[in-house]
Amino acid sequence: MKNYMVLFLLLSSYIFSQESSFDPDQLIGKKQISLEGTDYQLLPEAAKAFEAMYKAALAAGFRIRVVSSYRSYERQRAIWNRKYRNNQKEGLSPDVNRQKIIEYSTLPGTSRHHWGSEIDIVDANIPPEGDVLLSEKFHNGGPYEPLRLWLEAHAADFGFICAYPDQPDRSGFYYEPWHYSYAPLSVPLYRSYLKLDLNATLQDSLLAGHKDMTKQFLASYRKTHIMGINPALQ
């Protein structure tokens, strides 16, 4: 009993120290952090876990390709601004424009990819055809269905959990069978993130549509999208 108590105290102090050690700039992709990886960029601990998962997947016949890993604030802003301007050209109002982008893409400063704990993955053994990150490619005989099934059975053994699973009660981003999160790091990062004042943190005059982004929008986006993740990562 006593040993369990000591373990519990050690664990909670470890989690607490992890949560309190993140600087807000790191949480929103504006800090230079040390990353590892050849074809990807992840925090060292996540990279190590990924390499172990990669090897296990390889032995099972899959060659995991990381389509996206760490993404900086600036990179996310470039993605956002490009989509925003394209939608604008098609005549979309600011509200509709924003809603359309946030079906799949995040507001810069709110992407889990800023943390260095997230990966979007496919199977490199399949020659890519057009957009690879489509959920239908992971189901009903699609090219990435075998990889999805393998990940659902084994990724958690390496600490990786699907962030946006197909759960009917989940709000926010659409189902992303390709997006995996390294939970031992992303859980404390997420908890620390929720303490940020988004309205103050996300002021950016270079962000397309920033003038129409109200406090109310941010508050609802936080609830539906940022918090609309797999309960196992909360």
- Residues at the interface with Zn ion (CB under 5 A): 120, 179
Nearer to Zn ion (CB atom), residue 120 or residue 123:
120
b/e map of 64-93 (b: 16 or more CB within 10 Å)?
bbbbbbbbbbebbbebbeebbeebeeeebe
Output the smallest distance, CB 112 to Zn ion, in A: 7
Residue nearest to Zn ion (CB): 179
Nearer to Zn ion (CB atom), residue 176 or residue 199:
176
Output the smallest distance, CB 124 to Zn ion, in A: 17
Nearer to Zn ion (CB atom), residue 166 or residue 212:
166
Output the smallest distance, CB 3 to Zn ion, in A: 40
Output the smallest distance, CB 201 to Zn ion, in A: 21
For the CA atoms of 215, 31, 104, 99, what is the dihedral angle to 10 degrees?
Answer: 20
Nearer to Zn ion (CB atom), residue 56 or residue 133:
133
- The radius of gyration computed from the CA coordinates of the chain, to the nearest angstrom, equals 18
SS3 string, 170-188, reads CCCCCCEEEEEEEHHHHHH
Q: How far apart are CA 193 and CA 112, in angstroms?
A: 10
Six token digits for residue 203: 């002021």
Nearer to Zn ion (CB atom), residue 75 or residue 92:
75
Six token digits for residue 229: 């993740």
Tokens 């109002």 identify what position? Answer: 93
Q: How far apart are CA 143 and CA 145, in angstroms?
A: 6
Q: How far apart are CA 132 and CA 135, in angstroms?
A: 9
Measuring CA to CA, which residue among 115, 111, 114 is closest to residue 221? 111
Output the smallest distance, CB 162 to Zn ion, in A: 10
Output the smallest distance, CB 197 to Zn ion, in A: 25
Nearer to Zn ion (CB atom), residue 65 or residue 179:
179
